[in-house]
Amino acid sequence: MSNAVSALNGKTATGPVTVQELGLTGMVTLRGDFEDEGFAAAVTQLTGLQIPDVRQFQTDGVKTVLWMSPDELLVVLPYAEVNAFVAGMNDALAGSHYLVANVSDARAIFRVSGDYAGEVLGKNAPVDFEASQFVAGMVRRSRVGQVAAAYWKLDDGSFRVVCFRSVAEYVFGLMATSAKAGAVGVY
């Protein structure tokens, strides 16, 4: 649908640490029993990735599977592939107990990158973002300021931040303000 827009339509604050809303991004919530072979097989079949360990994620650079809770995964993938993915999941899991929901439009996703990206996030979340503590491959759900958020860190040192769509402007504003305020100089 040509009129579709993400929460902030790719808004970016550029600087030593850059905060960028990533535009339309596919996101799917998957709930099921991780121990169930059928569920695990369906995840691997449709993503090519294994179910990640607790508070970890798996990625092939295009699709990412994130551990959200003991019975919930978040799959991040290209926006155009979401409907097919959801349909494929429904086919693969038909008859079993599971839930799949397209949440692409319910969320906003940001990339936070640059020298002191971890410190920028550390200004607004009660989370240890020090490089040796928050390593690539890790996921952490917490808050950003006063709203819920999930964080994960990629191999290139950049972070992804996901929040609800309705508060995208608040979250962007908070992170951009923190980035502009400069480094703390400790990690």
Q: How far is CA 115 from CA 26, 61, 136, 140, 179, in A?
A: 28, 22, 15, 20, 10
Nearest alpha carbon to residue 108 among 32, 174, 16:
174
Residue 36 interacts with another protein (CB under 8 A): yes or no: no
The one among 14, 45, 50, 69 contacting another protein by CB under 8 A: 69
Nearest alpha carbon to residue 164 among 1, 12, 29:
29
Residue 177 interacts with another protein (CB under 8 A): yes or no: yes
Nearest alpha carbon to residue 44 among 60, 26, 55:
60
CB of 136 to another protein, least distance (A): 18
Residue 164 interacts with another protein (CB under 8 A): yes or no: yes
Which C-beta is closer to another protein: that of 113 or that of 116?
116
Which of the ranges 13-21, 37-45, 65-73, 109-117 carries the binding residues for another protein, by CB under 8 A?
65-73
Nearest alpha carbon to residue 65 among 12, 29, 38:
29
Burial 59-88 (b: 16+ CB within 10 A, else e): beeebbbbbbeeeebbbbbeeebbeebbeb
Residue 31 interacts with another protein (CB under 8 A): yes or no: yes
Which of the ranges 10-18, 43-51, 151-159, 167-175 carries the binding residues for another protein, by CB under 8 A?
167-175
Q: How many residues bind to another protein according to rule CB under 8 A? A: 61
Contact 178, 161 (CB under 8 A): no
3 state DSSP class of 104: helix
Which C-beta is closer to another protein: that of 71 or that of 81?
71
Residue 2 interacts with another protein (CB under 8 A): yes or no: yes
User: Which residues of the shown chain bind another protein in the complex (CB under 8 A)?
Assistant: 1-7, 24, 29, 31-32, 54-55, 68-72, 97-99, 101-107, 119, 122-128, 130, 133, 140-143, 145-148, 164-167, 169-171, 173-174, 177-178, 181-182, 184, 186
